[in-house]
Each structure stands twice: as structure tokens, then as C-alpha cells.
């Protein structure tokens, strides 16, 4: 039987070997894609994932199950991306989106979507990724990003409108 993420975190906190490896294999890919959107650098994104998982390992004993493990990890990752950006002292490089994970209208090609995504602000790219690629509910997105749910809703509206504009779609 496969352990749930919350069970894995409890096992990590109690020192059970193998639990960290299982948590890593379950979340490393999504965390990497999220970090890449913020940093635009594959090597830095890989480092951020490692730092995220190290912070999760260190903080497993303090994990409160009032949020999901997934939103907790994305929150840690968001903080690690911010630390990396501050360390660099500059804005993020543009990163290509994971166009295969998006479901655009049939009239939009992957290349068009990729170009349009390049025109979005990093916070909009990350928000769209969490909602549409990772499938997080808005409540969990708010927890992961450390903002109120109303902010998530308004940013999501703005991100979709900006993406429509960049794709040259008229409002219906």
C-alpha cells in the first residue's frame, strides 16, 4: 500500500528511512516545474528543489496538517525561489512554460501559447501552473503563495485576461 503524503511527512519526522525518498519522488517534478517558472534556469531550479526538500525534511516535525503537504511544499519552494532571486540580485529569466501540460483552445498552437506565456509576469505564470497544471484548489494555492484567497482569485482573473490578450483572443 502506498503511503499518503501526510503519512510520509510523519514518517520523515519519526526518522523512518525511505520516507524522504518516497516524498521526493512524488513531488520533485512538480516542484521543479514551479521553480523553473520563477527562475528560468534549470540548474537553479534543481538546486531549489533540493533546498525545498531539505527544508521539508528539517521541518517535518513541525508540519501542521491544517494544510495539505502539497501546498506546504509549494510554499517552501516559493520561499526558496525568492531566496535564490534575492541571492542573484536580479529579476528572473524568462522560462518556457510546460506547454504540454496546458489545454489551449484548438486554435492556439503550443508555440503560440509558449510565446504568450513568456509575456506574463512570473507570479501569473506560477499561479496558472499551480491551478491548471498541478490542479491545486484555490484555497491551497492561497496557502502555497501566502496570500488571501481573494488575491488568488483576482490574480487568476488578471492572468487569464492577460493571456487572452497576448494570444489575441477577443472576449466572447
User: Cα–Cα distance between 98 and 88 in angstroms, integer?
Assistant: 24
> Residue 26: which domain range?
1-95
Same domain? For 101 and 115 the reply is yes
Same domain? For 118 and 67 the reply is no
Last residue of a domain, one of 39, 69, 95: 95
User: Cα–Cα distance between 83 and 116 in angstroms, integer?
Assistant: 27
Residue whose C-alpha is closest to residue 48's, from 126, 108, 114, 117: 126
Of the chain, the percentage scoring pLDDT greater than 70 comes to 84
Output the CA torsion sign for 114, 118, 123, 124: negative
Same domain? For 85 and 130 the reply is no
Q: What is the pLDDT of residues 47-89, one digit of tens each?
A: 999 999 999 999 999 888 777 899 899 999 989 998 998 888 8
Is 0.85 topped by the overall pTM? no
User: Cα–Cα distance between 41 and 93 in angstroms, integer?
Assistant: 7
pLDDT at 92 > cutoff 70:
no
Amino acid at each position: 500500500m502506498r503511503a499518503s503524503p501526510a503519512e510520509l511527512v510523519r514518517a520523515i519526522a519519526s526518522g523512518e528511512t525511505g520516507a524522504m525518498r518516497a516524498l521526493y519522488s512524488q513531488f520533485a517534478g512538480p516542484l521543479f516545474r514551479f521553480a523553473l517558472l520563477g527562475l528560468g534556469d534549470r540548474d537553479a531550479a534543481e538546486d531549489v528543489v533540493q533546498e525545498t526538500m531539505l527544508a521539508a525534511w528539517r521541518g517535518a516535525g513541525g508540519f501542521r496538517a491544517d494544510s495539505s503537504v502539497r501546498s506546504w511544499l509549494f510554499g517552501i519552494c516559493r520561499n526558496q525561489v525568492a531566496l535564490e532571486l534575492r541571492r542573484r540580485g536580479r529579476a528572473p529569466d524568462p522560462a518556457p512554460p510546460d506547454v504540454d501540460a496546458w489545454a489551449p483552445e484548438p486554435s492556439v498552437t503550443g508555440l503560440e501559447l509558449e510565446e504568450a506565456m513568456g509575456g506574463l509576469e512570473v507570479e501569473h505564470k506560477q499561479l496558472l501552473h499551480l491551478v491548471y497544471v498541478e490542479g491545486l484548489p484555490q484555497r491551497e494555492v492561497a496557502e502555497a503563495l501566502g496570500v488571501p484567497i481573494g488575491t488568488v482569485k483576482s490574480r487568476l482573473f488578471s492572468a487569464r485576461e492577460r493571456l487572452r490578450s497576448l494570444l489575441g483572443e477577443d472576449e466572447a
